[in-house]
Amino acid sequence: GDSVTQMEGPVTLSEEAFLTINCTYTATGYPSLFWYVQYPGEGLQLLLKATKADDKGSNKGFEATYRKETTSFHLEKGSVQVSDSAVYFCALIHTGNQFYFGTGTSLTVIP
């Protein structure tokens, strides 16, 4: 069945460091891929998405490219800020309306 495997955390970085959070997926066909972010005390918010192979989703300095050949959707940001501290979830949606989420990666950025 469909599934998402996400890099385990927690991740701690200094401000302005480069961020990569790995995400790979298993699905037949062509799922849509997402990164959601959850800030403390808030609901999951859509960060970015990509709906077909080679698409690049981007938002707030974060990027992720849909790689069909490696079944990956790694999240990257060139220079993280303290305000980026949150839990990040990789997810896919395929047939129907059910999301499949990764386990979430907690990111803490220290000044």
Partner 1 sequence: GAVVSQHPSWVICKSGTSVKIECRSLDFQATTMFWYRQFPKQSLMLMATSNEGSKATYEQGVEKDKFLINHASLTLSTLTVTSAHPEDSSFYICSAPTAGQGFVSYGYTFGSGTRLTVV
- Scanning residues 5 to 24, which ones bind partner 1 (CB under 8 A)? 8
CA dihedral 64, 86, 95, 24 (to 10 degrees): 50
What is the full DSSP assignment across 12-72?
EEETT--EEE-EEEE-SS--EEEEEEE-TTS--EEEEEE-STT-EEEETTEEEE-BTTTTB
Smallest distance, Å, CB 32 to partner 1?
7
Of 13-21, 54-62, 70-78, 97-105: span binding partner 1 (CB under 8 A): 97-105
Of 16-24, 30-38, 53-61, 75-83: span binding partner 1 (CB under 8 A): 30-38
Q: Are 23 and 15 in contact (CB under 8 A)?
A: no
- 88 counts as binding partner 1 under rule CB under 8 A: no
Of 14-22, 37-45, 54-62, 67-75: span binding partner 1 (CB under 8 A): 37-45
Nearest to partner 1 of 5, 17 (CB atom): 5
Query: How far, in Å, are 45, 70, 92 from residue 15 at the CA level?
Result: 22, 30, 29
- 29 counts as binding partner 1 under rule CB under 8 A: no
- 94 counts as binding partner 1 under rule CB under 8 A: no
